[in-house]
């Protein structure tokens, strides 16, 4: 209380009320945090327990005798090693391809002067809100006609470009002053060199946002990989998990699989959090 200046009337009452309010807010914040994190703790806890056991009472989150048996069983009985590989191959390829195609197209829409530029751009934007699940049947039939069912091509190529990503990068390129382009132009740079040497390095934050969102989206996607793959060896992790529900009855093994699927996205979120939240907020503000 010392060094706080002149004591005012009612100050102590006001402070006490403020302290109680803050305490209540923190209590509420913690309570909600328990409901969002609790299920994940349950998942990890259950993955370390005997396969067919349920929670004992009163609920103890830390298993009495933690063991990795469920994880061992998971790798022995399912193709989860292959599923993890597939998910990584698909998610990294799609991310890399989208960064390339979206930045190229975003550059053209931001800087290019060619007939039909605005028309093409607005046609693209028009499909942004169109629900994509509506066309899963014809999309599957197109891919099966191409002979792509159960191939990486089916999992990767249709997602190699993204309208949202193109829009995101176009908007970012528009914020970069044209003076940079002009300076490079005077130095004799061509269109591609301006893109590669000037704009791409400046767009790193937008590229990081797109990369994070794309990787997470691909790693987590479910309906699309479910319909374009039928063989166990071409399943991605999320779809593999779903087939386990039917084939592997034990909750412990299922929770072990869930934990393994969850871990990479958790780590990415931990380190790239700023970009995830920025990207979401951006997509919202622009609508």
Partner 1 sequence: MEGQSLVLGRGRVVRARQVGLAQRLRKGWRWYLFIAPNVVTFLVFILFSWVFLIYLSFHDWNLMGAKEFVGLDNYVRLAQDKVLRKALVNTFQYVLMFVAPVSAVSLGLASLVNQRLRGIYFFRAVYYLPVVTSIAVLALIWKYILIPRPDGIANYFLGLVGIPYQQWLVDIRLALPSITVMQIWSTMGYYMVLWLAGLQSIPEELYEAARIDGAGRWQLFRYVTVPMLRPTTIFILMIAMIGAFQMFGPPYMLTGGGPVYATTTMVYYIWLQAFNRYRMGYASTVSILLFAIILVASLIQRKYMRWSETIF
Q: Could you please report the per-residue DSSP string of 46-114?
A: HHTS-TT----SS--SS-SS---HHHHHHHHHS-HHHHHHHHHHHHHHHHHHHHHHHHHHHHHHHH---
Nearer to partner 1, 36 or 65 (CB): 36
Spell out where 105-201 has E strands: none
Number of residues that bind partner 1 (CB under 8 A): 91
Residues of this chain, 176-235, that bind partner 1 according to CB under 8 A = 191, 195, 216, 219-223, 226-227
Measured CA to CA, the distance from residue 214 to residue 133 in angstroms comes to 18
Instruction: List the one residue from 153, 160, 184, 200 that touches partner 1 (CB under 8 A).
Output: 160
Measured CA to CA, the distance from residue 93 to residue 99 in angstroms comes to 10
Minimal distance, residue 115 CB to partner 1, in Å: 5
Minimal distance, residue 11 CB to partner 1, in Å: 20
Residues of this chain, 79-98, that bind partner 1 according to CB under 8 A = none
Nearer to partner 1, 7 or 17 (CB): 17
Instruction: Tell me if residue 203 falls in helix, strand or coil.
Output: coil
Instruction: List the one residue from 89, 153, 163, 185 that touches partner 1 (CB under 8 A).
Output: 163
Nearer to partner 1, 6 or 47 (CB): 47
| Residue 51 tokens, joined | 């396969």
**Region from 7-15, 100-108, 178-186, 203-211 binding partner 1, contact rule CB under 8 A:** 100-108
Asked if 164 is part of the footprint of partner 1 (rule: CB under 8 A), the reply reads no
Minimal distance, residue 139 CB to partner 1, in Å: 5
Question: What sign has the CA pseudo-torsion 57, 60, 64, 67?
Answer: positive
Asked if 62 is part of the footprint of partner 1 (rule: CB under 8 A), the reply reads no
**Region from 6-14, 74-82, 174-182, 255-263 binding partner 1, contact rule CB under 8 A:** 255-263
- Of 286, 269, 253, the C-alpha closest to 48 is 253
Question: What sign has the CA pseudo-torsion 30, 33, 39, 45?
Answer: negative
């Amino acid at each position: 209380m010392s060094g706080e200046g002149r004591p005012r009337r009612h100050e102590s009452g006001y402070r006490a009320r403020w302290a109680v309010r803050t305490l209540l807010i923190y209590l509420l914040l913690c309570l909600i945090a328990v409901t969002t994190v609790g299920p994940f703790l349950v998942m990890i806890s259950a993955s370390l327990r005997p396969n067919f056991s349920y929670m004992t009472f009163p609920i103890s989150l830390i298993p009495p005798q933690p063991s990795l048996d469920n994880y061992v069983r998971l790798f022995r009985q399912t193709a989860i090693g292959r599923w993890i590989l597939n998910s990584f191959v698909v998610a990294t390829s799609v991310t890399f391809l989208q960064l390339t195609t979206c930045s190229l197209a975003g550059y053209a829409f931001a800087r290019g002067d060619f007939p039909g530029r605005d028309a093409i751009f607005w046609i693209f934007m028009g499909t942004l809100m169109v629900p994509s699940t509506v066309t899963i049947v014809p999309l599957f039939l197109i891919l099966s006609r191409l002979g792509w069912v159960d191939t990486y091509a089916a999992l990767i190529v249709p997602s190699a470009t993204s309208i949202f990503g193109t829009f995101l990068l176009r908007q970012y390129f528009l914020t970069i002053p044209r003076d940079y382009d002009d300076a490079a132009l005077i130095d004799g740079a061509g269109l591609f060199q301006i893109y590669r040497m000037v704009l791409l390095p400046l767009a790193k934050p937008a590229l990081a946002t797109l990369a994070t969102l794309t990787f997470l989206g691909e790693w987590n996607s479910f309906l699309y990989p479910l319909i374009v793959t039928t063989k166990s060896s071409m399943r991605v992790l999320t779809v593999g998990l779903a087939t386990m529900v039917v084939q592997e009855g034990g909750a412990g093994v299922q929770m072990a699989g869930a934990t393994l699927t969850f871990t990479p996205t958790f780590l990415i979120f931990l380190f790239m959090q700023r970009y995830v939240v920025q990207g979401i907020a951006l997509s919202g503000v622009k609508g």
